[in-house]
Structure 1
Amino acid sequence: MKPKNFKPILKGLLLTFLLFFLLMVTPQTLGFLFPERPPVGYHFESLAYLAVGIGLEKLADLEPEIPETVEEIKDVEYKNMNGKSLQMDFYRPKNTSEPLPLLVFIHGGSWKSGKRSDYLVYLTRFAQKGYITATISYRLLRDSIYPAAVEDVTDAVKWLFENGENYGYDPDRIALVGGSAGAHLAMLAGYGWGSSVSQNSSVTTARRIKAVVDIYGPVDLTTKYSRNQRLVNAFIGYSYNEKPELYQQASPITYLSSSCSPTLILHGTSDTLVPVSQSDTLKSRLDALDVPCEYYRVPLWPHAMDIAKRVNDFSQKKMEAFFEEYLI
């Protein structure tokens, strides 16, 4: 056999090795080599699910058992709208004597779906770490349009400010945490939508949220991409051409100021539902206002990236460090 006949074989072996490296080695080994860096993903949702299917990627335990060291208090009503009860659940360490910081988790679901228990993995883990955690319900699109959900979240925050003694948390150390639509609502409530927009005095308060965590949430609903999305149109209840002022009013970026709470941002760079440019803009604006902001662009992960265990673990680690700095 002549030497030149080895070239196609060698080329094939090199391509095979490269494919193996890209699909199997890179996402996992980078986590071991650079543990402080965000975990590398797969760019496409289909590839991420394939990685789960063949055992390369693990899903986070989204329905964990309630630990024996954590007390669960369910179905606490914070608001009643014409017979419709809006409730929250608490998770707190047992045998605590001093008031603890409170982390309020707001579920996502495109403003049309989702439930309080969606973030049970975060709720239980942070309760184990010495925080009291809460999760709230709010009106979804099948019941109402903007501003109902924002009013509900802001009413829940006001209720929480007033009931710390009853549940063992410090009302002056509250953080709002949300993912996707929940992050959008967390930012609106945390950045002052209630005092700026609502004519309902029940949603205004003199107290201040201490920290906000935005996990791939929409920040500006007036961009060309956002205002043409059906989900955004459904949330507002009108097209942009009909009510452009509502799109601006429902955008967290409208309420940014130097008095905004410290913010942590986590966003996948391959997110096609909420483009990462939304978080890029938020980071840039907060920096210009000298508001403390930590931002992690998580490479090659799509929307809802934290259902993957590696991303969920990374998110918890960054949240814990953030809370230790601004809540403890």
Structure 2
Amino acid sequence: MLHKTELEYDANNHLFLDAYHDDAQPYLGLLIDIHGGGWFRGDKDKDADWATRLAQLGYEVLVPNYRLTPQVFYPEPLRDMDTLMTWIATSDFNQMPIGVVGSSAGGNMAVELAIRYGVPAVSLSGILDIDDWLTQHQAVEAAPGDLDRFNQQSSAAINQTGSNDAFYKWFVLNYFNQRTDELSAATPVHRISATTGPLFLANSLAEFVPTSGVLKLADALTSVQVPFVLNVLPGNRHAKGYLDDIFSQITAFLATYLIDQRPKPQLATE
């Protein structure tokens, strides 16, 4: 039977998460599922669909809320994830191998956790190309996109008419409160190292999130010999809009790299 429990992981900022598990399945590990929403919308309910599917496979899944703009700006949502990792380390979950999945803005944050903590991560349409993209698109006039259904569980209907540079520029700059002095520090590719966790990177060819982000990360990961999976799909679906197409690949990736984190059994000594 599937269970969902709400827990507070940050009393100072009143941040909660939903914990999903299926007591009919043996535990495969712990997954953090970070919702998308451009760092300005969405909450943990937005990923109830993905969390449920993962829990039904046997994962303990934590879907956290994090602070959004305009309450906070970069890097505060990432600091919330640091708080979450500290909370996990002192919780009943601390003996499980940990992985992270995320879509769109959540995909960016999933990659950040892989860089900071060495955990395997899945990023669907992650916002990964920041500084270079903005430099190359200075003439683009930033403008909000169609936000009417932004909080729905599926991302398939959000800005799905192909590239939307005006919207991409709008929510990225919004994340930084229009500042430009932290763009390079916030672009993940500059901090890829041999200690980065394995990555599963996906993007559609013609969606509003540019493929340059995953392609640059793939090059950087290759240079430091960190394993990764890169899946670039046809069409313009965004993030969870193509989840069904690649779900089996994601589960195979998680099974491989979460198992690799588990402590190796010690041989008995005579």
TM-score surpassing 0.5? yes
Answer yes or no: is 1:267 the counterpart of 2:195.
Answer: no
User: How large is the RMSD of aligned CA atoms in angstroms?
Assistant: 1.9
TM superposition shift of 1:159: 1.1
Amino acid at match of 2:126: G
Amino acid at match of 1:132: E
TM superposition shift of 1:99: 5.5
Evaluate the alpha carbon distance shift between residue 258 and residue 118 of structure 1 in structure 2; reply closer, same or farther with a 3 A threshold.
same
Larger Rg: 1
What is the rounded CA distance, in whole Å, between the counterparts of 1:301 and 1:238 in structure 2?
A: 27
What is the rounded CA distance, in whole Å, between the counterparts of 1:232 and 1:73 in structure 2?
A: 32
Identity %: 25
Aligned residue in 2 for 1:215:
124
Alignment of 1:235-314 (within 5 A): 235-240=175-180, 243=181, 246-272=182-208, 274-304=209-239, 306-307=240-241, 311-314=242-245
Answer yes or no: is 1:183 the counterpart of 2:85.
Answer: no
TM superposition shift of 1:162: 2.2
Conservation of the 8 A alpha-carbon contact between 2:27 and 2:60: no
Q: Which runs of 5+ in 1 are unaligned?
A: 1-68, 193-207
Give the match's secondary structure for 2:131.
Answer: coil
Aligned residue in 1 for 2:16:
87
Amino acid at match of 2:175: F
Query: Deviation above 3 Å: which 4+ runs of structure 1?
Result: 224-228
Identify the match of residue 122 of structure 1 among 26, 38, 50.
50
Aligned residue in 2 for 1:111:
39
Conservation of the 8 A alpha-carbon contact between 1:265 and 1:295: yes
Evaluate the alpha carbon distance shift between residue 209 and residue 290 of structure 1 in structure 2; reply closer, same or farther with a 3 A threshold.
closer
What is the rounded CA distance, in whole Å, between the counterparts of 2:68 and 2:88 in structure 1?
A: 21
Bigger fraction of residues in helix:
1
Give the match's secondary structure for 2:190.
Answer: helix
Aligned residue in 2 for 1:174:
98
What is the rounded CA distance, in whole Å, between the counterparts of 1:301 and 1:111 in structure 2?
A: 21
Amino acid at match of 2:256: E
What is the rounded CA distance, in whole Å, between the counterparts of 2:236 and 2:101 in structure 1?
A: 20
Conservation of the 8 A alpha-carbon contact between 1:145 and 1:236: yes
Conservation of the 8 A alpha-carbon contact between 2:19 and 2:60: yes
Amino acid at match of 1:220: D
What is the rounded CA distance, in whole Å, between the counterparts of 1:128 and 1:302 in structure 2?
A: 25
Aligned residue in 1 for 2:143:
none
What is the rounded CA distance, in whole Å, between the counterparts of 1:215 and 1:161 in structure 2?
A: 26
Answer yes or no: is 1:231 the counterpart of 2:171.
Answer: yes
Give the match's secondary structure for 2:15.
Answer: strand
What is the rounded CA distance, in whole Å, between the counterparts of 2:111 and 2:226 in structure 1?
A: 14
